[in-house]
Amino acid sequence: MKAYIKGIGSISPQPGFGNEPFHAPVTYSEGVLRCIEPDYSTWIDQRAIRRMSKIIRIGVAAATLALKEAGIEKPDAIITGTGFGCVEDTGTFLDKLIENNEEALNPTPFIQSTHNTIGSQIALLLQCVGYNQTYSQRGLSFECALQDALMMLVENPENNILFGGVDEISDVSADFLKKLDLFSDCADSLGLFSQKQHGMIHGEGSAFFVINSSPSNAWAQIAGMASIYKPQSASEIVQQLNDLLNKASVSVEDVNLVFLGKCGDDRYDYLIHEVSNSLSHRTRKAVFKNLCGEYSNASSFALWLAAMMLKKGFVPDGILTEEKNIAKPIKVILIYNQYLNQHHSLLLLKACG
Amino acid sequence: MEKLITDLKVKIIDALNLKHLKPEDIGDDQPLFVQGLGLDSIDALELIVLLQQDYNIKITDPQEGPKIFRSVKTMAEYIRSHQSA
Amino acid sequence: MESKVNVIGMGVISAIGNSVDQSITSFESHTSGISPLTLFDTVHRYLPVGEVRYSNAQLSDMLGMEKKFNRSTLLGIYAARQAWRELNISKKWRTGIVSGTTVGGMDITEDLFRKYKTQDPTIDYHDIRDHECGSVTERIADDLGIRNTVATINTACSSSVNSIIYASRLIKHGLLDVAIAGGVDALTKFTLNGFNSLMILDKQPCRPFDETRNGLNLGEGAGFLILVSEKVLKEESLNPLCQIAGYANTNDAFHQTASSPDGRGSYLSMEQALKISRLATSEIDYINLHGTGTRNNDSSEGIAVQRLFKDTIPPSSSTKSFTGHTLGASGGMEAVFSVLSIMQGCVFPNLRFTSRMTELKFDPVVEFKRGLNINHVMSNSFGFGGSCSSIIFSKT
C-alpha cells in the first residue's frame, strides 16, 4: 500500500507555520530553541485554548493546519508521538503538590499532564470518534506513530490518517537536562556544525501530517521506513538502509539528498558519521538540527522540511553540508535520524508529480 | 456582599483562565454551568479548590457543587454563610 | 497479512498475587488486595489502595538488580520475566516489546523534584534518566534481550490493552514474529494526589457497578502476554492458551476526563471488536468490565453494554474490586485474567456488590465459578482523553 502525504503542518523554532518557505532561518544564542508560536485565534477556539499548555497548543494548531492543507475535516485516525509528554503541566502539578503539602491541588494540570492529551484534544475539537493512539518511545516516538499510521492505511486503504510528533521544553526540563550534561549553551545555533560542541542544543516543536493512499496533489510519497533500537554497529544501520532501498526499488544513486540527524555532539554522532561517510560522495547531505534543535521528535521536523523541499523545491540556508548548488531536482530524500545514539531511524521519501 | 461578588468574579476569571472575559461580563445571577458561561465539571473542581485556598472552606462532596456554584451570587452567599459560621 | 495471533504465555503481579496461580487463588477465595496505603508517606494515608506487597528494595533483590531502578521498571521486569521464562524457542524470530504505562519513572521523579525545589545538595540528576515512559519499556527490553521493536503507548488507562492490540497488528502485518505486550504502572504520590484532586477516590474499598459506589481505589502492578504468529506456533510446536480474536480502539470525544452518558465511545469499541472477531454478542461468555467504581464510568459502561448486548448480556464483573485500578497496567493485567478465564473456564466475582444500579437491568457476577464453557472473553479498558479499547480472546 502506497502512502502519500496530503497535508503538513509544523510549529518549530523556525518560521514556516502556514507552510511558507523561509530562506533566512533564525539563529539562537543560548542553546535553547523555543517555538515561534502563531496567533492562535484563527486556529483554536478561544474557549478551548484556556486550558491548553504550549505542547497542546502547538500540537492542535499544527494538526489543524495539516488537515486544512489536506482538505479533510475529520480524519479516520489520530496518532501522536511524544517523548516527554506534557512536561509543563507535569511540573506545575508536582510543584503545587510539594508547595501545598498535597492539599487543595488544582486538577487541571494533572488532567492535562497525560501524554494522550494532545491527541484527545484534537479528537474533542473535531468530534472525531476514530482510532486515537499516543506513543511515547523517546527518540522513536514519532516513528512509532508513523509505523502505526502506515499499518492503518494498509488495513483501511480508504482512510485519511492524521499523525504527528510533538515535544515541548519547560524551564524545569531544560534545567534538568542541562544538569544531566545532555544539553549545553551555544552562541550560534545555526552554526552548530561549524564548531566542536559538548552537549546538544535543546529544541521543541510539533509537526503533523495527513496521509492517504491517493497520489493526487500529494506533498510526497512515503516510500519506506525503518527503526533501529541501540544499533551495535554502523554496518547494522547500512544493512537496514540497503533493505529499505531494495524494498522501495530505489538505488543509492537515486537518493538526491540525505538529511542527517546529527546533533553536533560527538558522543552521540559517531555512528551517524560512520554511516554518512560510507555513502557515496556524490550523495548530497544536509543537516536539520541546527534549525530545530534536538528533541525526541526532531525527525518529525525533518519530515516536514523534506516534504516542503519535495513539493516546493525550497532549500533553507544553512542546511546543506556543501556549498555547491543542487544540480538536479530533488526527487528522493532519505532522512536518517539518531537520538542519543540509541534510537536510529530511516525514512525514505519520493517526490510526487 | 458587593465587594465579595466583584472579588469572586476576578478570582474566577483568573482560576479558570477565562482571559477573554472581564469581571463586568459576568452577571451576578448568570448561570455559570451548562448555559451562561458554559463551565464544565473540571471548572467545578477548580472552584472547589478556590474556595479552599482563598476562603478556607472545604467541600468534601462534589455533588454539592451544582447548588453552590449556580451563579457568582450563590457562591458569594455560600461563602458568607460559611465564613460567619 | 496474517490472520491469527496466538497467546502462548503470560505474567502478572498485583495486589492479589505475584503470579497467575496466586491471582487465581485470590479470586477463588474472594480475597481482595485492597488495603491501607503503606508504600509511601502521604497526608492521604487513609485511602485504600491495591499495593504490591514488596518494597522497591525487595523487588530489586528478588530480581537480582541494581537498587536504583524505579518501581514501574521493577514491576514490569518482574511480570515480563515471568511470562518470558517459560518460552523456549529459537532466537531467529523477530521479537518485540510493546508496553503501556502512564507514570513511567514518576516515583523517583517526584522525589527528585522535591530535592530540586528545596535545593537539596544530595540531589542526583541522573535519577531523571528513567523518567520517560519509554525508558521503562527499554529497561524491560534490555533485560529480556529484545531489540527488534520497542514501543510504548500512553493513552492513560487503556495503555496496556492498546499495547496488546498494536503488538497483534505488528504480527499480523508480518513485521514481528513474537511479541511481549502489556503494561505496568506503580503507585505514586503524583497519581494519588491527581485522582484525589478529581474527587473520584473512594475512602472505602471500591464497589464497582454498585448503586452505592463512590469512586475508585488506585492500584499498581504489571501484566504481560506473549504473542506469536501462526508460523512460530507451528514451527516451534507450541500450544496456544488462546487467540486474539478481535479488538478496537475508539474515542469518546466527549470530555477530557468524563465519559459520555450513553457511553458512545465504549459502545463503538465493543461493537468494532466484535466485528473484527466476527462474533455475535451472544457468543461472548464473559466481560471483564473496566468497572472502576466511579459513578461516571460504571454508568456509562453499563449503559453501553446494555445497548449493545441487549438480551444477551453475558456474565460480567470488574476485577478492579480485587486489584484496584492499576491505570496503565490495568488492560495488561485484565488481559491475563481474561486468558485465565478461558483456560480455567471461570468467571471472577465483582466484590462488594449489594445493589443494582438504577439505570441498569443486569448485575455483575458475585461468585467465583469454575467449570464453565468459556470460549470468548471480552475485556474493556477506558482511559482519560476519551480513549476506549476493547479486546476479545477466544479459545482455540
> Domain residues for C182?
5-235
For residues C69 and C199, state if they share a domain.
Answer: yes
Please tell me the predicted confidence (pLDDT) of residue A324.
63
CA distance A229 to A343: 5
Number of domains in chain A: 2
Among C235, C252, C281, the domain-final residue is: C235
pLDDT, tens digit, for every residue of C290-318? 999 999 999 999 999 999 999 999 999 99
Give the rounded percent of residues in chain C with a pLDDT score beyond 70.
Answer: 100
Checking if the pLDDT of A175 tops 90, the result is: yes
- Does pLDDT of A235 surpass 90? yes
- Of the residues C235, C263, C280, the one at which a domain ends: C235
C40 and C151 together in one domain: yes
Mean pLDDT confidence for A152-175: 97
Instruction: Print the SS3 string covering chain C.
Output: CCCCEEEEEEEEEECCECCHHHHHHHHHCCCCCCEECCCCCCCCCCCEEECCCCCHHHHHHHHCCCCCCCHHHHHHHHHHHHHHCCCCCCCCCCEEEEEECCCCCHHHHHHHHHHHHCCCCCCCHHHHHHCCHHHHHHHHHHHHCCCCEEEEECECECHHHHHHHHHHHHHHCCCCCEEEEEEEECCCHHHHHHHHHCCCECCCCCCCCCCCCCCECEECEEEEEEEEEHHHHHHCCCCCCEEEEEEEEEECCCCCCCCCCCCHHHHHHHHHHHHHHCCCHHHCCEEECCCCCCHHHHHHHHHHHHHHHCCCCCCEECCHHHHCECHHHHHHHHHHHHHHHHHHCCECCCCCCCCCCCCCCCCCCCCCECCCCCCEEEEEEEEHHHEEEEEEEECC
List Cβ neighbours of C146 (8 Å cut-off, separation of 6 or more): C95, C96, C97, C140, C180
Residue A213 has pLDDT above 60, yes or no: yes
Same domain for C225 and C259, yes or no, is no
Q: Are residues C214 and C331 in the same domain?
A: no
Q: How confident is the model at residue C47 (pLDDT cuts 50, 70, 90)?
A: very high
B29-43, C117-131, C265-279: least confidently modelled range: B29-43
For chain B, what are the domain ranges? 2-83
Q: Contact A135/C169, CB-based, under 8 Å? A: no
Q: Are residues C217 and C302 in the same domain?
A: no
Do C225 and C267 share a domain, yes or no? no
Q: Residue range C275-279: average pLDDT?
A: 97
Residue B34 has pLDDT above 90, yes or no: no
Last residue of some domain: C210, C235, C260?
C235
Q: What confidence tier does A87 reach under pLDDT thresholds 50, 70, 90?
A: very high
Asked if the model's pLDDT at residue A109 lies above 90, the reply is yes
Confidence tier at A325 by pLDDT (50, 70, 90): low
Average pLDDT of the residues of chain C? 96
One domain, residues A204 and A326: no
Q: Is A183 in the same domain as A297?
A: no
**Who contacts B46 (Cβ-Cβ below 8 Å, separation ≥6)?**
A106, A107, A108, B15, B16
Among A212, A241, A272, which residue terminates a domain?
A212
Are A64 and A187 found together in one domain?
yes
C46–chain B Cβ distance below 8 A for any pair: no
Q: Do A164 and A286 have their domain in common?
A: no
Residues A151 and A15 in one domain: yes
C256 vs B contacts (CB less than 8 Å): 42
Which residues from A are below 8 Å from C131, CB to CB? 84
pLDDT of B65? 87
Do A332 and A273 fall within a single domain? yes
User: What per-residue confidence (pLDDT) applies to B17?
Assistant: 92
Share of chain A above pLDDT 90, in %: 88
Q: Mean of the pLDDT values across residues C82-104?
A: 95
- Pick B40's closest partner by Cβ from C198, C199, C255: C255
Do A18 and A81 sit in the same domain of this protein? yes
- Select from A212, A246, A279 the last residue of a domain: A212
Is C249 in contact with A131 (Cβ distance < 8 A)? yes
Do both A187 and A283 map to the same domain?
Answer: no
Tell whether A8 and A34 lie within a shared domain: yes
The ipTM (two decimal places) reads 0.98
Per-residue pLDDT for B28 more than 70?
Answer: yes
Q: How many CB atoms lie within 10 A of CB B66?
A: 14
Instruction: Say how many domains are in chain C.
Output: 2
CA–CA dist A143, A140 (Å, integer): 5
Instruction: Identify the pLDDT of residue A156.
Output: 97
Which tops the pLDDT comparison, C17 or B65? C17
Residues A209-214 have a mean pLDDT of 98
Site from B33, B39, B41 to mutate, C interface, most C CB atoms within 10 angstroms: B41
* pLDDT one-digit tens code per residue, C159-208: 999 999 999 999 999 999 999 999 999 999 999 999 999 999 999 999 99
Residue B48 has pLDDT above 60, yes or no: yes
Tens of pLDDT, residues A236-276 = 999 999 999 999 999 998 999 999 999 999 999 999 999 99
pLDDT in tens, A13-37: 999 898 999 878 999 999 999 999 9
Residues C81 and C189 in one domain: yes
Query: Looking at residue A340, which CATH number applies to its domain?
Result: 3.40.47.10
Contact A79, A141 (CB under 8 A): no
Which class would CATH give B2-83? mainly alpha
C323 shares a domain with C227? no
Of A179, A212, A245, the residue at which a domain comes to its end is A212
C-alpha cell at A41: 485565534
Does A215 have pLDDT greater than 60?
Answer: yes
How far off is chain C from A86, nearest CA to CA, in Å? 11
Residues C224 and C275 in one domain: no
Cβ proximity of C343 and C225 under 8 Å = no
Beta-carbon contacts below 8 Å between A and C: 178
**Residue C369: is its pLDDT beyond 70?**
yes
Please give the pLDDT value at position B35: 75
pLDDT exceeds cutoff 90 at A47? no
More confident: C375 or A321: C375
Q: How far apart are CA C363 and CA C302, in angstroms?
A: 10
Could you read off the pLDDT of C199-220 as tens digits, one per residue?
999 999 999 999 999 999 999 9
Rg of chain C (C-alpha set): 20
C265 and C230 co-located in one domain? no
By residue range, what is the domain housing residue A67? 3-212
In this structure, are A200 and A94 located in the same domain? yes
Mean pLDDT, residues C151-163: 98
Mean pLDDT of A186-214: 95
- Compute the nearest-CA separation of B50 from chain A (Å): 8
Answer yes or no: do C196 and C272 share one domain. no
Q: Which of A1, A84, A116, A236 to mutate to test the interface with C (most CBs of C within 10 A)?
A: A116
Look at residue A326 in the predicted model and tell me its pLDDT: 62
Burial zone of A5 (CB within 10 Å; 0-12 exposed, 13-18 middle, 19+ buried):
buried
If asked whether residues A135 and A237 sit together in one domain, one would say no
Q: What is the CATH number of the domain that holds C212?
A: 3.40.47.10
Are A113 and A197 members of one domain?
yes
